[in-house]
Chains A and B, each alone.
Chain A
Amino acid sequence: MVKSIVLKPEEIRAKGKLQFKDIELNTYATPMKEAAKHYPRGDLLRMHRDMAILREFESMLNSIKREGKYEGISYNHRGPAHLSIGQESLAVGQAYTLTPEDFSFGSHRAHSEILSRGLRSIAQLEEGALLDIMKNYFGGLTLSKVEKDATGGVRELANDFFVYGTLAEIFARETGWHKGLGGSMHAFFCPFGVYPNNAIVGGSGDIAVGAALYKRVNSRPGLVVANIGDASLACGPVWEGIVFATMDQYRTLWDKGHNGGLPLIINFVNNLYGMGGQPVGETMGLKILARLGAGVNPDQLHSERVDGFKPLAIVDAYERKRKILQEGRGPVLLDTLTYRFSGHSPSDSMSYRTKEEVDAWQAQDAIPAFADELVKAKVATPAEVEGNLKYAKELVFRAFKKAIDPVVSPYLDPGKTPVIEKLMFSGKKKLVLDSRQPEVLIPLAENPQLKRLAAKSRFGLDAAGKQLSGMKAVVLKEALFEAIIDRFYEDPTLAAWGEDNRDWGGAFAVYRGLTESIPYHRFFNSPISEGAIVGAGVGYALSGGRALVEIMYCDFLGRCGDEVFNQMAKWQSMSAGILEMPLVLRVSVGAKYGAQHSQDWSSICAHIPGLKVVFPATPYDAKGMMYTALAGTDPVVFFESQRLYDQPEIFVTEGVPAGRYEVPFGEPARRREGKDLTICTIGATIYRALEAAKTLEEKYGLTADVWDLRSLSPLNYAPLVESVKKTGYVLLSSDACERGSYLHGVASNLTSLAFDYLDAPVAVVGSKNWITPAAEQEESFFPQPFWLVDAVHQRLRPLKGHVPEGNWTDGEILRLNQAGV
């Protein structure tokens, strides 16, 4: 794909041997007496204190879940609690080197990582900055719950604030980090660099890559840590994320100032279990996880195994790895060893491991061992160690009492107030997400594609009303291009990627001419990793940038199902509005390429709460809606039809404007006016519906109101209802397979909204519930104009003298459904 990279047979075919460097395992062995010289004594004491807090916190939850009480106080926590008892030393060691500008992403088992980073940030930040963070977080709501009982200074107050806020979130209270909408598995706290923890195993594996990409592309300081479990390595998106993060182009093709490997530490929290499955010896074959690095790139990902039972070993590793990242030689893989004493979850009966094994690891418990070393090395006195344990207990108990108090810590009542409804979308308009000058290669006016387009007609019909060739008029793909390149010259954070986007111009040439204008770091080819393409987009967008990603065929949505349905759609609301998701996913609906390249899955996307789903069918709409998508702060799945890329504008007589304009989401457009029936379509079917409308008028004297819905979600039904009131008959059609089509929802809503105005039940005509056959047989699969006429005749109103070719009767509906086709 890049002409500058020449593949030479004599090199590639040369005989030789592939050699690997040794991979270090648990090499840290510095005695405490020696190590202590490099740390302020207070830091070492605080590391012990923080481990004790983490242990107490998790033990409290363990006690609540298993016995229903803590310190004699009963409480029933209905939600999950995936505890990390035994893993505290790893979390505290990692947090020691990180600062709030470093982002860490994690898993469902993240309480220790959240608390350790919070406690460490509290120790690092200026008191004024700390106070600002506490006062500004949800208007100081959480702070107000702890400040009146606080004793001691700002940092002690902050410790109370942080432990309480985390616990309140776990207990689903309004005073938690996300008003209780995230909960145990999704808690995070951005001001301290703690980014989304993910309940989907390996979910952070590609999202963290996007955050690292954001830092690289926008020259932001700090590194990114992906804390994912050892067992998540078996998940496709994790592997996709590793491939995406190690592309050669970062170092070889990206422009100076932005080149170099991603500042990313892929930190496998290796507790030796995936729920109860054992990656070593049972469910995987790596034996030593660190081995993986050797297979990924010549740097072997600078992989090593670090003994997480020694917090200072982790600190040492992170200090060394940070240097590698700063030199642009990332990313890095760490296999950090630990062991979970507690079960996977409270329902874990530990049927998969022996008591002897657990006892043997508990004998290695890092917290007493670290205290012992501190005392032996005369860094701390036994009284100081005791004091830490006491402080931990009191801190957690204070937070616990407040977090379970319904007056101090109320629940949101989403059934009574539309609070979640309001959080589903951020709904803002932001033209730029940063004030920098956008980095581009040439002035906009010199772009060769724009120059080419300048010679074309903006309107697609000639004076006689005949449609112009796509060579002479601006077509849909070019209209999209005009909006996209314009936004690239406006928003410096906008970055786009996908398969074959750059030199090829995207599989359907939407990006033709963009390579000449936009530098590599803002516009690049991705590996064939749809999961990572979207996952990186999620990470890029929630970090503060605007991403435009593309997955070529709609049929590949399955490959990024989790990223679209669980990640892109949900983080705005799960964060209670802390995060925004300015991410646009371009999806192209195919035809002619058979069963796995010709499906319209817009219905599936529209089913998922939290996504805006649009499907423009004209050049005017495509450009205007792309402008809207790229100016908003919400995730948009932007459907395009391959049948329409070369379609000129035939409806808006002034043609596709050369300048900027926005077409709002959710407003259906009437493409033909009539009084006898209403036809609504989604996508390319509009043109076939117009043909059907022509036949209905010419042969049967019926005029149709024909609407292009343009947008699935949101959708304003008001003009459609008015149309139905006028006509009394509704026919809906799109290329999506009929069963479960979004149009059935439209039919149901229109029936509810205009029941008393209907002369017949609303009819839905979709594609057959089959595989898409070959191009030669597509007329038997996708709705054709004559199908629509037949459906009018058999479902809405008999057409005098019409002889139907197809069967749209009640009996056929019964038969097809009974047969499941």
Chain B
Amino acid sequence: MAVFVQMPKQGNTVEECLLVEWRVREGDSVKTGDILCAIETDKASFEVESTASGTVLKLLATAGELVPVLANIVAIGAAGEAVDAATAAAPAPAAPAASVAAAPAPAPVSPPAAPVLTPRVASPAVTPAQSTAAAVSPRARQLAAANAIDPGSLSGSGINGRVTSQDVQASIDSGASPRLTPLAKAVKAETGLVAGSGSGLGGLVRARDLVSGAVLRERPVLTDLPPENIPYKGVRKLIGDRMAQSLREHAQLTLNSSADATALLAIRKAVKENAETYGLPKISMNDLVCWVVAQTLPFFPEVNAIFDRAGATVTRYHGVQLGVAIDTPRGLMVPVVPDAHRLSPAALANIVAQYVVDCRKGSILPDLLQGGTFTVTNLGALGVETFTPVLNTPQVAILGVCAITDQPARGTGGEIVLQPRMGLSLTIDHQVVDGAPGARFLQAVVKGIENINLSLALLGAL
């Protein structure tokens, strides 16, 4: 008798998955573990492995279709065997009516007993990472390619910060460009490989350190390629539609402020210098800000809230389920740090670091992508000085962390000094949060950052 492979259930709140493409055809022989198809949820993409061996009797869904989880997608059996239409079409268990705006702290739910073999999820599809394209002039690109330099790593002196050939030349002249052993030079010339990080003395690049430089090397050829059509679907479509919906349906107001980052920088420096002694993890500026936010939010439940328009309710929380925006090759992901207000900076940093790895690999648990009450997003590392974060609805507020820049300020003696200041951009949903409460929260965050030493001293109280 034929057995059915189902659309796997990816976490508790995923109702349907996009069937991206079939990897098998009807009549193919498959073994347990063979890849049947590629699917995408709203947050990640996966491959579905066969849970049975035999002949593919029937594909029960078509590529491009949104298939409810646990619905039958493939019938596998003996060659020539008939598929019972009624069984094949058996609908998946009724999908819950709940919307994406799930409860902030979802309770784990046991998967319903599967009538057929439960598929295993194969390792997530890996998309090669691409560096964010900085504006690099064609001439600079060419010169950089010829010298095995990544022009994106240089700061541009041209119009609008464009990296020019002068910048590349300066990098070459300054010796910042890699030095190669004679053998590495010969191999490089022959193979077109480019220098990776050098493992030799003083960073000297050895032949074995050469890596593929396709992106750099082939640039002049790439310009000849036809335009690419990137389908607007899957994760991209989900992010895009939500962004548009967020902007369309919510009265977004962004408040900008900045905080003296002197103390923040000092702590990070101290952490770095004492990491070994105290066994500290790497704690980034963003981790510290997140920690301050998590400590501050319990006092401002009006911004730590979920707006349910249909239910005409705003639910304010005192505990903090902190969404942390992470940039991945597949698009923006926002995993949630549960009960962030209970965590020390080090613990929070550990969790976020793991999230970054999992999100980039695509292996983050879908359940971790739900249930936030407030989100922190950070473009400061990319030099952005101010921006307007888009609400991660149904949350009512999101904090954008911006770059630290030196700003003139009054020193203690009234003299003008340069002060490192971190930009902060808070977007609130003005439908349910007014400007003044938003500003009070932002002011509290600023104070928290500026006085982070005090907060840390008082940590025990929290």
Interface stretch of the complex, out of B162-170, B420-428, B445-453: B162-170
Counting chain A CB atoms within 10 Å of each CB, the highest count among B137, B142, B160, B220 belongs to: B137
Counting chain B CB atoms within 10 Å of each CB, the highest count among A756, A757, A796, A810 belongs to: A756
Set B141, B157, B158, B164: member contacting A756, Cβ < 8 A? B141
Give the CA-CA distance A601 to B137 in the complex, in Å. Answer: 33
Set B138, B140, B142, B159: member contacting A798, Cβ < 8 A? B159
Asked if A759 and B164 make an inter-chain contact with CB atoms under 8 angstroms apart, the answer reads yes
Interface residue? B208 (CB, 8 A): no
Asked if A759 and B157 make an inter-chain contact with CB atoms under 8 angstroms apart, the answer reads no
Q: Please give the residue numbers on chain A whose beta carbons come within 8 Å of chain B beta carbons, in ascending order.
A: 728, 755-760, 794-798, 810
Q: Report A347 CB to chain B, min CB distance, Å.
A: 42
Give the CA-CA distance A578 to B350 in the complex, in Å. Answer: 86
Q: Report B140 CB to chain A, min CB distance, Å.
A: 6
Can you spell out 21 A-B residue pairs with CB atoms less than 8 angstroms apart? A728-B137, A728-B164, A728-B165, A755-B138, A756-B139, A757-B139, A758-B137, A758-B138, A759-B139, A759-B140, A759-B162, A759-B166, A760-B137, A760-B158, A760-B162, A760-B164, A795-B159, A796-B159, A797-B159, A797-B164, A798-B157
Q: Report A552 CB to chain B, min CB distance, Å.
A: 43
Which residue from chain A places its CB closest to the CB of B164 in the assembled complex? A759
Asked if B223 and A755 make an inter-chain contact with CB atoms under 8 angstroms apart, the answer reads yes
Which chain B residues border A797 with CB–CB below 8 Å? Answer: 157-159, 164, 166
Which chain B residues border A759 with CB–CB below 8 Å? Answer: 137-140, 158, 162, 164-166
Residues 72-95 of B contacting A (Cβ, < 8 Å)? none
Which residue from chain A places its CB closest to the CB of B162 in the assembled complex? A760
Q: Report A403 CB to chain B, min CB distance, Å.
A: 44
Which A-B residue pairs are the 4 nearest by beta carbons?
A: A759-B164, A759-B137, A728-B139, A756-B138
Asked if A758 and B159 make an inter-chain contact with CB atoms under 8 angstroms apart, the answer reads no
Give the CA-CA distance A755 to B220 in the complex, in Å. Answer: 9
Question: Given the known A-B contacts A728-B164, A760-B164, are A794 and B159 also in contact in the complex, defined by CB atoms under 8 Å?
Answer: yes
B-side interface residues, number (CB < 8 Å): 16
Asked if B140 and A756 make an inter-chain contact with CB atoms under 8 angstroms apart, the answer reads no
Q: Report B159 CB to chain A, min CB distance, Å.
A: 6
Which chain A residues border B142 with CB–CB below 8 Å? Answer: 756-757
Q: Report A579 CB to chain B, min CB distance, Å.
A: 43
Which chain A residues border B166 with CB–CB below 8 Å? Answer: 759, 797
Q: Report B294 CB to chain A, min CB distance, Å.
A: 41
Counting chain A CB atoms within 10 Å of each CB, the highest count among B139, B157, B164, B223 belongs to: B139
Asked if A756 and B159 make an inter-chain contact with CB atoms under 8 angstroms apart, the answer reads no
Which chain A residues border B165 with CB–CB below 8 Å? Answer: 728, 759
Residues 170-185 of B contacting A (Cβ, < 8 Å)? none
Give the CA-CA distance A38 to B155 in the complex, in Å. Answer: 97
Give the CA-CA distance A592 to B123 in the complex, in Å. Answer: 76
Q: Mark B191-230, 1 if CB is under 8 A from A, else 0.
A: 0000000000000000000000000000010010000000
Which chain B residues border A757 with CB–CB below 8 Å? Answer: 138-139, 142
Counting chain A CB atoms within 10 Å of each CB, the highest count among B142, B159, B166, B220 belongs to: B159
Which chain B residues border A794 with CB–CB below 8 Å? Answer: 159
Q: Report B34 CB to chain A, min CB distance, Å.
A: 46
Which chain B residues border A795 with CB–CB below 8 Å? Answer: 159
Which chain B residues border A728 with CB–CB below 8 Å? Answer: 137, 139, 164-165
Counting chain B CB atoms within 10 Å of each CB, the highest count among A795, A797, A810 belongs to: A797
Q: Mark B135-155, 1 if CB is under 8 A from A, else 0.
A: 001111110000000000000
Q: Please give the residue numbers on chain B whose beta carbons come within 8 Å of chain A beta carbons, in ascending order.
A: 137-142, 157-160, 162, 164-166, 220, 223
Q: Report A750 CB to chain B, min CB distance, Å.
A: 12
Give the CA-CA distance A758 to B139 in the complex, in Å. Answer: 5
Give the CA-CA distance A392 to B87 in the complex, in Å. Answer: 86
Q: Report B174 CB to chain A, min CB distance, Å.
A: 19
Which chain A residues border B140 with CB–CB below 8 Å? Answer: 759
Which residue from chain A places its CB closest to the CB of B140 in the assembled complex? A759
Which chain A residues border B157 with CB–CB below 8 Å? Answer: 797-798
Which chain A residues border B223 with CB–CB below 8 Å? Answer: 755-756
Which residue from chain B places its CB closest to the CB of A751 in the assembled complex? B138
Which residue from chain A places its CB closest to the CB of B157 in the assembled complex? A798
Give the CA-CA distance A796 to B159 in the complex, in Å. Answer: 7
Q: Report A338 CB to chain B, min CB distance, Å.
A: 60
Q: Report B151 CB to chain A, min CB distance, Å.
A: 11
Extra A-B contacts (7), CB below 8 Å, given A728-B164, A759-B165: A756-B138, A759-B138, A759-B140, A794-B159, A796-B159, A797-B164, A798-B158
Which residue from chain B places its CB closest to the CB of A676 in the assembled complex? B166
Give the CA-CA distance A92 to B220 in the complex, in Å. Answer: 67
Which chain B residues border A810 with CB–CB below 8 Å? Answer: 160
Which residue from chain A places its CB closest to the CB of B168 in the assembled complex? A759
Q: Report B363 CB to chain A, min CB distance, Å.
A: 40
Give the CA-CA distance A758 to B142 in the complex, in Å. Answer: 10
Give the CA-CA distance A758 to B157 in the complex, in Å. Answer: 15
Q: Report B215 CB to chain A, min CB distance, Å.
A: 15
Which chain B residues border A796 with CB–CB below 8 Å? Answer: 159
Give the CA-CA distance A757 to B141 in the complex, in Å. Answer: 9
Which chain A residues border B164 with CB–CB below 8 Å? Answer: 728, 759-760, 797
Which chain A residues border B162 with CB–CB below 8 Å? Answer: 759-760
Give the CA-CA distance A795 to B158 in the complex, in Å. Answer: 9
Give the CA-CA distance A284 to B377 in the complex, in Å. Answer: 77
Give the CA-CA distance A479 to B166 in the complex, in Å. Answer: 44
Give the CA-CA distance A798 to B157 in the complex, in Å. Answer: 8
Which residue from chain A places its CB closest to the CB of B137 in the assembled complex? A759
Counting chain B CB atoms within 10 Å of each CB, the highest count among A728, A794, A796 belongs to: A728
Give the CA-CA distance A796 to B164 in the complex, in Å. Answer: 10
Q: Report A141 CB to chain B, min CB distance, Å.
A: 43
Q: Report B142 CB to chain A, min CB distance, Å.
A: 5
Q: Report B451 CB to chain A, min CB distance, Å.
A: 40
Give the CA-CA distance A797 to B158 in the complex, in Å. Answer: 5
Give the CA-CA distance A796 to B140 in the complex, in Å. Answer: 14
Q: Report A811 CB to chain B, min CB distance, Å.
A: 11
Which chain A residues border B138 with CB–CB below 8 Å? Answer: 755-759
Give the CA-CA distance A795 to B137 in the complex, in Å. Answer: 13
Give the CA-CA distance A759 to B141 in the complex, in Å. Answer: 9
Which residue from chain A places its CB closest to the CB of B145 in the assembled complex? A756
Q: Report A105 CB to chain B, min CB distance, Å.
A: 51
Which chain B residues border A798 with CB–CB below 8 Å? Answer: 157-159
Give the CA-CA distance A768 to B162 in the complex, in Å. Answer: 28
Q: Report B426 CB to chain A, min CB distance, Å.
A: 28
Which chain A residues border B141 with CB–CB below 8 Å? Answer: 756
Q: Report A728 CB to chain B, min CB distance, Å.
A: 5
Q: Report B246 CB to chain A, min CB distance, Å.
A: 28
Q: Report A699 CB to chain B, min CB distance, Å.
A: 18
Q: Report B152 CB to chain A, min CB distance, Å.
A: 16
Q: Report A518 CB to chain B, min CB distance, Å.
A: 55
Which chain B residues border A756 with CB–CB below 8 Å? Answer: 138-139, 141-142, 220, 223
Q: Report B136 CB to chain A, min CB distance, Å.
A: 10
Give the CA-CA distance A797 to B141 in the complex, in Å. Answer: 16
Give the CA-CA distance A760 to B163 in the complex, in Å. Answer: 10
Counting chain B CB atoms within 10 Å of each CB, the highest count among A756, A759, A797, A798 belongs to: A759
Which chain B residues border A755 with CB–CB below 8 Å? Answer: 138, 223
Which residue from chain B places its CB closest to the CB of A795 in the assembled complex? B159
Q: Report B220 CB to chain A, min CB distance, Å.
A: 5
Q: Report B462 CB to chain A, min CB distance, Å.
A: 48
Asked if A760 and B220 make an inter-chain contact with CB atoms under 8 angstroms apart, the answer reads no
Give the CA-CA distance A759 to B138 in the complex, in Å. Answer: 6
Give the CA-CA distance A104 to B142 in the complex, in Å. Answer: 63
Q: Report A808 CB to chain B, min CB distance, Å.
A: 10
Give the CA-CA distance A274 to B291 in the complex, in Å. Answer: 87
Give the CA-CA distance A738 to B223 in the complex, in Å. Answer: 29
Which residue from chain A places its CB closest to the CB of B167 in the assembled complex? A759
Give the CA-CA distance A558 to B158 in the complex, in Å. Answer: 43
Q: Report A256 CB to chain B, min CB distance, Å.
A: 70
Q: Report B223 CB to chain A, min CB distance, Å.
A: 7
Q: Report A788 CB to chain B, min CB distance, Å.
A: 16
Which chain B residues border A758 with CB–CB below 8 Å? Answer: 137-139
Which residue from chain B places its CB closest to the CB of A724 in the assembled complex? B139
Which residue from chain A places its CB closest to the CB of B220 in the assembled complex? A756
Give the CA-CA distance A796 to B141 in the complex, in Å. Answer: 16
